[in-house]
Structure 1
Amino acid sequence: MLLLSLILHGVTFIFLFLLYQKLQENKERENVIEQKEKEIDELFHNYLVEIKEENQKFTEQINKMKKQQDKQRTQQQQSKESVIEKEDSTEFEEEPFFTKENFPDELDYEPLIPQEEHEPVYELTMESRVMHLYDQGYSADQIAKQLNVGVTEIELMIKIHTQLSN
């Protein structure tokens, strides 16, 4: 009876130990998942900050261009007004280039004939170009410089692609 009790206690302790190990493994998995979620959140946050900075630069450039265009318009209007004033002082009429007398009866017109058709050109997406360069061993900084894109955007694409492929 004592031997049976010891065996049952031993089996119970082994069972409890195995359950404890499973519980620890689950907690470790949860911690890894939370860590990956935080990394992805940080990547998205950095990406959004970079996009905001680029948008601000872009709006500043647009505003500068608008100011330049407004200056050009005012200059053009002023020059047109001066030309109109000069024309008013020297009034003359221009004759049309084609009149009934000099208009040709038949026009020398030949429609364009399409040349040989070429094979369609396929353009790679940004993601495929990034992953192709990444597979060739380029770093995220090098890829960003080569494609003229933000580093965080490249890191985000690589991170998401590697997570999806795993």
Structure 2
Amino acid sequence: MTTYLLVISFLLHGILLVAIVLLSLRVSKAKEIEKRQAQVAKEIEDTFTAYLLEIKEENERLLNKLEENGENGERVRVQEERYNAPQETKKQQDHPTSEPVTFKEAEEDSLPAEMPVEYKPPLPEEQVDYQPSIESRILQMYKQGATVEQIAKRLDRGTTEIELTLKFQLRMS
């Protein structure tokens, strides 16, 4: 009878040891998955941070260029005045719409020199050309073998933006 109880005891101990090993493996896999998810989240956060810093630098360069060119607000003010308070003079009303306004007439009417001299109606829908999106152009160039730097130069974009777009698009597919 004691041998019978010893055999049952060994069997139960063996089953419990196997169960403990299986549970410890599952816990270690769960911890490993958590570490990978935290690493991916950190990579995404770092990528976004780098992307935002690059955008900030580009904005600062744009502001510097605008200040260098002397367009730091005067042009915006002129455009606001032109669109917010349209005033038609007598000469403007006398011109038929089919004839373009010349520079001489624009000066006589005291219009800003930056005002377009002739109205061009928008193209009909059948003449509008399809332009692929930036993302599709990036993917197409990448599939053709272009490097990130080459793509950035051709599309006049930042390398971080190209890398970010490629990373997200390749993960999606």
Q: TM-score range by the shorter chain?
A: 0.5 to 0.7
Residues 19 and 147 (structure 1 numbering): CA distance in 2 closer, same or farther, change over 3 Å? same
> 1:146 — aligned with what?
154
**Counterpart pick for 1:56 among 54, 60, 63:** 60
- Bigger-Rg structure (1/2): 1
Residue equivalent to 2:145: 137
Report if aligned partners of 2:66, 2:72 keep a CA contact under 8 Å in 1. no
- Give 1:119 deviation, angstroms: 6.0
Structure 2 match to 1:44 = 48
* Distance across 2 between alignment mates of 1:31 and 1:68: 49
TM-score by length of 1: 0.65
Secondary structure at the residue paired with 2:129?
A: coil
* CA shift in 2, pair 1:133/1:25, >3 Å: same
Q: Which residue in the other structure is 2:29 paired with?
A: 25
Point out where structure 1 has 5 or more consecutive residues left out of the alignment. Answer: 71-116
In structure 1, how many angstroms separate the alpha carbons of the residues matched to 2:128 and 2:152?
28
- For the residue of structure 1 that corresponds to 2:167, the secondary structure is helix
**Separation in 1 of the partners of 2:36 and 2:165?**
20
Q: Secondary structure at 1:46's aligned position in 2?
A: helix
Shift of 1:66: 2.1
1:121 counterpart SS class? coil
Instruction: Using CA pairs under 8 Å that are at least 6 residues apart, name the structure with larger relative contact order, 1 or 2.
Output: 1
Which secondary structure does the structure 1 equivalent of 2:70 belong to?
A: helix
Query: Could you report, residue by residue, the CA deviation over 1:55-108 in whole angstroms, capped at 9, with x for unpaired residues?
Result: 0110111112226998xxxxxxxxxxxxxxxxxxxxxxxxxxxxxxxxxxxxxx
**1:66-145 equivalence runs, <5 A:** 66=70, 118=126, 120-145=128-153
Residue 162 of structure 1 deviates from its aligned partner by 2.4
Aligned length: 119
TM-score, length of structure 2 as denominator length? 0.62
Number of the residue aligned with 1:97: none
Closer, same or farther: CA 127–11 of 1 in aligned 2, 3 Å: same
Give the letter aligned to residue 154 of structure 1.
I
Letter in 2 for 1:29: I
